[in-house]
Structure 1
Amino acid sequence: MTSAAWHARISCGRDTGAGFLVTERHVLTCAHVVARSGTDAVSVSFAHGGGESIGAHVVAHGGWDGRDTDAGDLAVLELDRAVDLKPAEFAAPDEAYGHPPRKLLAYGFPKHYDEGTIAEYRATAGQLIAGEWVQLEAWAAHGQPLVPGFSGAAVTLADSGRVVGMVSAAARDPGVRNGRMLPANVMARYWPRLGDLIPTPDYDGPQKERLRLLVEEADRHGDLECSPRRLYQEAVTDFGPPPPPQGFASLWDAAWYLLSEVSDTKAAVRFAERLADFVEDRPTRAALRSWPHVGAEAAPGHKAGVTPHSWSPILVEIAPSGSGDHQFLVEVSAYNGDHRRVVGRRRMPADRVRSYALERIDEAYHALEPGARELLAFVLPRRWLNTDVANWQRSADDDSPLGAFAPLVVMDLERRRSGGLQHKLLQKWRELDVQRSARLRRIGCGTVGQDPGKLTVALRRGADVVGFGTPPRTDGSRQLFKAGLNAAVPVMLWPRSGCRGGPSHEDCRGAAFLDRLAEHLADLPPAELPTYIHELRETAYASESSEHHWAYDLALLWEDPRCLPDPVGYQHSPVG
């Protein structure tokens, strides 16, 4: 406990108090400690930081307005620069209480103790006073009492050093050795970002962060025809706990109460689903309905929560930004199981997309487990599907193509956004999981011009894998590709160059390509095609022949929504 470097001394004019570091730039303290921050400078020094003071300013406030009984006595300070100290870690909300009582420690800075001193206390009970505070009483009849200088101090478990709350007040009578603690889960009402750091059952930090950002986005889209209390009641159903006496100040307040106080872990999911019904923005609505991205029902033989075939995708999403024909929103993220970590997100002109994506892909590998099977998945606008991403130079120091470095697939942006087509894809993969082999449908160059609607129906009924003899570079061939996408065909292959589907097909490269495709991919499981295509690309790139290997410009569209359980994507979600 005493070696924790994140304990902070806060100075604001003539007032002194305590605080604690929760991120590399943010310190929590009581609002009354920095009440004069509008006129007086705020400085922060750390218990084991050599006495150096760092400037800070208030970036969030709990709403405290000056009286001892006022709620929201919390201030969030942002340091003028990041510090190289490990932030405090939080305990679960109920760990502060128990029988026998848990010993709690507070590290404060009372008068004549510039280096700090420790007070030992315990929580009287988990019962909140006025829906806000927990009463503290001294651990023993002697020792350091809570006095001025302890306000804002982290209250920690003596055995683990994890934070359970913050000292907000002490008894006015020096003969009464008690005080008040603002529990960590109450603090998160006033600074929602704190909820990402506090352990809660079943939902981790990234999942809670995503829900918080979705709720914030729902608020930003205007007045919603629903109340936090009503949403809470529908989430807990008729047999759930009643809302707290103080009610809910915001949508997030209700969501956080469900996450931190309600034992039914599915209640938060029901809250998100019901909130979606009142949100006009379609991507936000879909993202709320898919929270927390637990994925589809596991296929037979797969454990729940583990992506099929153990792929760990690095997802590159490229979408029109809406601010011009040549502006795109690029987002790169990495998946570990159902958890998605965004590595980079930027709006940029088309000529910068490649360099930015390659740089962030390389960074995304840091987020993968050492034994992960990487899969580079590019989600592209339909007109970019034939982009030669597989032959992009991997990096400034590596001339080899990206498609020879790792399994690489492309996906259609429009199809990824369609709930109906994603549902059909899931159905198709459930069928493929139990089939011995996939049905390959050849679409040769001479078929350009056939009715795309009829082709869609035919492919939907009789194709698992489609091979095209011509790339989507003409209006006719694009219609064929559109038919395959609308048929929810999970795997599509084609050559990026070659026959354009003209009237004559003597010595047609498209037909030869389809012959070789059938020869090399016959009876292979579709779920493993990214691996086989990767091996083909390696062979094609390493070939010493004067003629191009037949697979040198092979393109693979492959989509299994179970591996990427976020069909809407982040580029149109509040995370962006």
Structure 2
Amino acid sequence: MNSAAWHARIHCGHEVGAGFLITARRVLTCAHVVRAGGLDAVTVVFPHARELGEVPASVVAHGGWAGGLTDPGDVAVLELDRDVPLAPAGFAPPEAAYTEPRPRLVAYGFPAGYDEGTLAEYRAVSGQLIAGEWLELVAWQGHGQPIVAGFSGAAATLPDGRVVGMVTSASEVPDVRKGRMLPLDVLARHWPELGELVPTPGHRTDVLRELYELLRSAPGAPDCDPNRLYVDAVGAFGPPLPAGGFTTLQAAAAYVQWEVPDPAAMDRFAGRLRELVGAGPAVAKATTAAQSAQGTQGTQSTQSAETAQDTKVARMSPPWAPVVVEIDHSGAGPDQVTVEVSAYRDGQRRPVGTRRLPRSGVRSYVQRRIDEAVAHLDPDAEELVTFVLPREWLNEAVAHWECGADDSTPLGCAYPLVVTDRARHRSNRLRHQLRKKWQKLDAGRPAPVHRVECGSQERPPSLRKRLWDGDAGLAGFAVPPTAAREYFEIGLTVPVPVLLWS
């Protein structure tokens, strides 16, 4: 059977459009092609397999299209009344539609007079979405078949036959050979089950397959809150929960698959879902992201809070809820700083207070605001206090600050506490590199410790090379940062997850 046999002609009332077979019993098309499906019969014909005849079908999923030409979600899934013995369409990664040099895209449509179908050649203008929904198409050449009525729902395919999108509309301006298509990631946003079929760079096929198996078995499981699962998967420093949240687990999973840049978030989402549906223990292992300052008198530590949080999220149960204290120069004078305290809940940052203060007033302000911030945290979450400090503040003994005027408990005894350098915290390069280091530590690999001795004669470039080449997990300094500033600053600019000093 020819591989093009999955192309389909859809008939519903007065509408004729195209579609393509995605499983043995399901066909994808545009919602406007079957808009009368509630009143009129929907039939599907496969021009390359005419012996199958007209196959009755029904609409089983809808992308939420509201009926207007520019309304989003013009997607419908048809279920045939029987399986058909045809190989379904294959898919390319979404970005293949617009990778340079722009590939020729072929659409198989059914305009008036072409019941058997005809081809149109187009290309994507760029990877820029129109209104977050469509890729714009222009004719491959100045002549040939334009996209017109009858092409709606047609698969846009690469020369090798793999699908990269679905044609939805054409320009209504005469002599303008343009159209629009929904790329695969947008199609999956409107019908999340498609995500199982589409290759996704960075995600392992076995993880995706398991995830969608879990999604099919999850509806009966208790406590499967899609918003909580999303927050657990991406962590407090990942993309925030979209406005309005997610109404289904499938929508949350699709967002993690297509919109979250960290591939490990998908593993964490699947692991947590596996726990909730009782399919066995999560793959992710429990790890420690921050050491409590209790019992470490005379020692401070700094690590990348955002990557430490990634590692903590791998524990999944319970989730970590950070209180973040950020201190920065205010620009109003050498003694003036800006202090900002925030709480994180459900992936959202909740500002608690911001104030410009002299250094002498910082401690009391932070004490009050941390106590206030804790009230914003999820009651089931584990607290984590993170200080993001200017470099000259790193030796400030914040772990020994008292919890409050009436509570002499050190902060480091009351909460797990992390200190991170502000410049390190803001560096995208280091965030990316440190995230990979924490993933290695999370996997249980040994963490080499590199010592920098008091009075070391090692040249700074040599130390940098040693930390890079040695894949250091921890660097220990025998003196405080002020006594070995050049060495310490090297430690802050290479991806060593944890720095310790006396």
Question: 1:63 & 1:206 partners in 2: Cα distance?
Answer: 30
Q: Any conservation in 2 of the 1:147–1:170 contact (CA below 8 Å)? A: yes
Q: Note the C-alpha offset of 1:216.
A: 5.0
Q: Who is 2:131 aligned against?
A: 130
Q: Any conservation in 1 of the 2:226–2:252 contact (CA below 8 Å)? A: no
Q: Who is 1:264 aligned against?
A: 262
How far does the alpha carbon of each residue in 1:387-424 deviate from its partner, in whole angstroms, 9 at most, with x for none?
A: xxxxxxxxxxxxxxxxxxxxxxxxxxxxxxxxxxxxxx
Q: Any conservation in 2 of the 1:193–1:209 contact (CA below 8 Å)? A: no
Q: Note the C-alpha offset of 1:220.
A: 3.8
Question: 2:284 & 2:145 partners in 1: Cα distance?
Answer: 47
Question: 1:128 & 1:240 partners in 2: Cα distance?
Answer: 23
CA RMSD of aligned residues (A): 3.1
Question: 1:244 & 1:117 partners in 2: Cα distance?
Answer: 41
Q: Who is 2:152 aligned against?
A: 151
SS in 1 for 2:253: helix
Q: Who is 2:248 aligned against?
A: 250
Q: Who is 1:62 aligned against?
A: 63
Q: Who is 1:166 aligned against?
A: 166
Question: 2:138 & 2:261 partners in 1: Cα distance?
Answer: 28
SS in 1 for 2:50: coil
Q: Any conservation in 2 of the 1:93–1:260 contact (CA below 8 Å)? A: no
Change (3 A) 1:26 1:121: same
Question: 1:49 & 1:218 partners in 2: Cα distance?
Answer: 37
Q: Who is 1:539 aligned against?
A: none
Does residue 109 in structure 1 map to residue 149 in structure 2? no
Change (3 A) 1:246 1:119: farther
Q: Give the counterpart letter for 2:266 in structure 1.
A: A
Change (3 A) 1:156 1:275: same
Q: Note the C-alpha offset of 1:223.
A: 6.1
Moved more, 240-249 or 196-205: 240-249
Q: Any conservation in 2 of the 1:105–1:120 contact (CA below 8 Å)? A: yes
Q: Who is 2:140 aligned against?
A: 139
Question: 2:242 & 2:266 partners in 1: Cα distance?
Answer: 16
Q: Note the C-alpha offset of 1:154.
A: 0.3
Q: Note the C-alpha offset of 1:219.
A: 4.6
Q: Who is 1:91 aligned against?
A: 92
Question: 1:247 & 1:179 partners in 2: Cα distance?
Answer: 32
How far does the alpha carbon of each residue in 1:187-207 deviate from its partner, in whole angstroms, 9 at most, with x for none?
A: 223333322211123545553
Question: 2:112 & 2:232 partners in 1: Cα distance?
Answer: 51
Alignment of 1:519-530 (within 5 A): none
Residue ranges of structure 2 left out of the alignment (5+ in a row): 286-502
Question: 2:25 & 2:259 partners in 1: Cα distance?
Answer: 28
Change (3 A) 1:5 1:216: closer
* Number of residue-to-residue matches in the alignment: 285
SS in 2 for 1:49: helix
Q: Give the counterpart letter for 1:271 in structure 2.
A: F
Question: 1:56 & 1:72 partners in 2: Cα distance?
Answer: 20
Question: 1:73 & 1:93 partners in 2: Cα distance?
Answer: 18
Q: Who is 1:179 aligned against?
A: 179
Q: Give the counterpart letter for 1:148 in structure 2.
A: A
Change (3 A) 1:240 1:123: farther
Question: 1:15 & 1:194 partners in 2: Cα distance?
Answer: 25
Question: 1:244 & 1:127 partners in 2: Cα distance?
Answer: 21
Q: Note the C-alpha offset of 1:240.
A: 4.9
Q: Give the counterpart letter for 2:30 in structure 1.
A: C
Question: 2:142 & 2:239 partners in 1: Cα distance?
Answer: 38
Q: Give the counterpart letter for 1:255 in structure 2.
A: A
Q: Note the C-alpha offset of 1:130.
A: 2.6
Q: Any conservation in 2 of the 1:211–1:291 contact (CA below 8 Å)? A: no
Alignment of 1:348-427 (within 5 A): none
Q: Who is 1:360 aligned against?
A: none
How far does the alpha carbon of each residue in 1:232-257 deviate from its partner, in whole angstroms, 9 at most, with x for none?
A: 45534566566778975533223223
Identity of aligned residues (%): 55
Alignment of 1:24-103 (within 5 A): 24-50=24-50, 52-103=53-104
Q: Any conservation in 1 of the 2:226–2:246 contact (CA below 8 Å)? A: no
Question: 1:244 & 1:164 partners in 2: Cα distance?
Answer: 26
Change (3 A) 1:123 1:245: farther
Question: 1:195 & 1:185 partners in 2: Cα distance?
Answer: 8
Question: 2:284 & 2:156 partners in 1: Cα distance?
Answer: 33
Q: Who is 1:18 aligned against?
A: 18
Q: Give the counterpart letter for 2:173 in structure 1.
A: D
Q: Any conservation in 2 of the 1:157–1:163 contact (CA below 8 Å)? A: yes
Question: 1:219 & 1:129 partners in 2: Cα distance?
Answer: 34
Question: 1:128 & 1:249 partners in 2: Cα distance?
Answer: 24
Question: 2:114 & 2:253 partners in 1: Cα distance?
Answer: 41
Question: 1:226 & 1:164 partners in 2: Cα distance?
Answer: 28
| Pairing partner for 2:283 from 287, 290, 293 | 290
How far does the alpha carbon of each residue in 1:54-80 deviate from its partner, in whole angstroms, 9 at most, with x for none?
A: 111112211212112222211111112
TM-score normalised per structure 2: 0.51
Q: Note the C-alpha offset of 1:211.
A: 1.1
Question: 1:155 & 1:225 partners in 2: Cα distance?
Answer: 36
Alignment of 1:182-221 (within 5 A): 182-201=182-201, 203=203, 205=205, 207-221=207-221
Q: Any conservation in 2 of the 1:131–1:245 contact (CA below 8 Å)? A: no
How far does the alpha carbon of each residue in 1:276-314 deviate from its partner, in whole angstroms, 9 at most, with x for none?
A: 78x4x5x15x45x2389xxxxxxxxxxxxxxxxxxxxxx
Question: 1:129 & 1:45 partners in 2: Cα distance?
Answer: 32
Moved more, 231-240 or 77-86: 231-240
Q: Any conservation in 2 of the 1:96–1:164 contact (CA below 8 Å)? A: yes
TM-score normalised per structure 1: 0.45
Residue ranges of structure 1 left out of the alignment (5+ in a row): 293-576
Question: 1:4 & 1:83 partners in 2: Cα distance?
Answer: 14
Q: Give the counterpart letter for 2:4 in structure 1.
A: A
Q: Give the counterpart letter for 1:153 in structure 2.
A: A
Q: Note the C-alpha offset of 1:259.
A: 2.4
Question: 2:238 & 2:246 partners in 1: Cα distance?
Answer: 16
Change (3 A) 1:237 1:291: closer
